[in-house]
Chain A
């Protein structure tokens, strides 16, 4: 119901033609009863825009035939092709990492290491048995028998590991060739003498039979030290000579060194045996 509080909304809806015929009649009566509102009512109804005679300039462009032509206009001519399409192809370079080669190398290295370790262990066991036999069969030589003092020192130097390692296997491996040992013994003779005096009796310097020494000399003639007395040739020289044939393969030597470093067995003061793997000592049962 129109009243003095909401007349403006009714006037606006009247102008918008959103009122029914009955509502319009109510508005007309309200304006008639309240002439003071007639001016506002007239202004609101003046604010109406009537369509002008404006026309679209060229309707012909809107008709369907023109639209079809416009559609036809945009059909691509597929007969036109780019001539040098091959030059446009590109390929992103991807770096493929092949793991077959590194894995193969690693597997081969592990297999070789294992194989050499196994062979080395067997060989050393055989050698240690042979050396023990030789040592047992050979007579003990006196250290004073026709051996020059320097040669005795060299022998002592070679035999220091014999006492320290208390293992024939270690003796063989720690002995240097004579030509090199002579130089080293000359240079560090004081140290060697000191070490030998503490641990090694003089009578142990040469303890092989003459036949064994001669055979070793024949297999491995020492040309660099012609003045050496045959009596001075000791067990280390013989074992070294016998091992010469095993050093053909450098790979085997490397494998043996690695094996020694990895599985170095030491005896502790209490008599407990350990296997040293890298920096760790792993206790093992005592050897009997």
Chain B
């Protein structure tokens, strides 16, 4: 990877990686640190990293650094505020959207990562497996389990509304 290709990666993937990490960590400062560390690592290893695989490389590095960070700091706040907030919000769609965001935080870091990599970046099961060090079957099972969990939660909210 050349210096120019590296800078293109910054333009193309910095926001995406940051979004993915921020949705998982909920701490902007920590998410910025993780993204910056991922780009620093890619810069150090730019001789080995190819431009075609740079996106996957960045997501992989950022994901593992995030997991390490979460394990060290245990800053995942499993908030359980949605029941009260759902009762006081206005429109149904906005309530569902917000509750969907809240429900996402109920998931484990792995489940969140699987959902976001699939929905945000559109990665296949294989690609997600490469990033998260799982095989495609595991990704499929864990991902479906996470969606079922979210669906059950949303069904409960819809009944409340």
Verify if A189 is at the interface (C-beta below 8 Å from B). Answer: no
Given contacts A47-B154, A62-B10, A67-B40, contact A18 B3 (CB under 8 A): no
Contact B3 A64 (CB under 8 A): yes
Within 8 A of A (CB), among B7-24: 7, 10-11, 14-19, 22-23
Contact A62 B36 (CB under 8 A): yes
Within 8 A of B (CB), among A53-104: 54-57, 59, 61-64, 67, 70
Given contacts A12-B147, A43-B151, contact A52 B19 (CB under 8 A): yes
Verify if B43 is at the interface (C-beta below 8 Å from A). Answer: yes
User: How far is it, in angstroms, between the C-alpha of A69 and the C-alpha of B35 when the chains are bound?
Assistant: 18
Q: Which residues of A contact B158 (CB under 8 A)?
A: 43
Q: Which residues of A contact B148 (CB under 8 A)?
A: 8, 12
Q: Which residues of A contact B95 (CB under 8 A)?
A: none
Q: Which residues of B contact A59 (CB under 8 A)?
A: 10-11, 14
Given contacts A17-B122, A59-B10, A62-B10, contact A49 B143 (CB under 8 A): no
Q: Give how many A residues have a beta carbon under 8 Å from the other chain's beta carbons.
A: 29
Main secondary structure of the interface of B (DSSP, over half): helix
Q: Which listed residue (A18, A40, A56, A64) contacts B14, Cβ 8 A?
A: A56
User: How far is it, in angstroms, between the C-alpha of A38 and the C-alpha of B39 when the chains are bound?
Assistant: 44
Q: Could you write out 7 A-B pairs with CB less than 8 Å apart?
A: A16-B118, A46-B154, A47-B151, A50-B119, A51-B16, A54-B15, A56-B18
Contact A67 B39 (CB under 8 A): yes
Q: Which listed residue (A18, A43, A49, A70) contacts B116, Cβ 8 A?
A: A49
User: How far is it, in angstroms, between the C-alpha of A47 and the C-alpha of B19 when the chains are bound?
Assistant: 18
Q: Which residues of B contact A61 (CB under 8 A)?
A: 36
Q: Which residues of A contact B66 (CB under 8 A)?
A: none
- Smallest CB–CB gap between B8 and chain A, Å? 10
Contact A57 B32 (CB under 8 A): yes
User: How far is it, in angstroms, between the C-alpha of A40 and the C-alpha of B154 when the chains are bound?
Assistant: 11
Verify if A15 is at the interface (C-beta below 8 Å from B). Answer: yes
Q: Which residues of A contact B36 (CB under 8 A)?
A: 61-62
Q: Which listed residue (B43, B100, B147) contacts A44, Cβ 8 A?
A: B147
Q: Which residues of B contact A67 (CB under 8 A)?
A: 39-40, 43
What residue of chain A has the Cβ atom nearest to residue B119's Cβ? A49
What residue of chain B has the Cβ atom nearest to residue A15's Cβ? B147
User: How far is it, in angstroms, between the C-alpha of A63 and the C-alpha of B151 when the chains are bound?
Assistant: 41
User: How far is it, in angstroms, between the C-alpha of A259 and the C-alpha of B23 when the chains are bound?
Assistant: 99
User: How far is it, in angstroms, between the C-alpha of A209 and the C-alpha of B40 when the chains are bound?
Assistant: 119
Within 8 A of A (CB), among B88-119: 96, 100, 104, 115-116, 118-119
Verify if A245 is at the interface (C-beta below 8 Å from B). Answer: no
- Smallest CB–CB gap between B16 and chain A, Å? 7
Verify if B6 is at the interface (C-beta below 8 Å from A). Answer: yes
Verify if A9 is at the interface (C-beta below 8 Å from B). Answer: yes
Verify if A34 is at the interface (C-beta below 8 Å from B). Answer: no
User: How far is it, in angstroms, between the C-alpha of A50 and the C-alpha of B100 when the chains are bound?
Assistant: 11
User: How far is it, in angstroms, between the C-alpha of A48 and the C-alpha of B32 when the chains are bound?
Assistant: 25
What residue of chain A has the Cβ atom nearest to residue B104's Cβ? A49
Verify if B138 is at the interface (C-beta below 8 Å from A). Answer: no
- Smallest CB–CB gap between A23 and chain B, Å? 15
Contact A54 B22 (CB under 8 A): yes
Query: Which of B17, B19, B122 lies at the interface centre, i.e. has the most chain A CB atoms within 10 A of its CB?
Result: B19
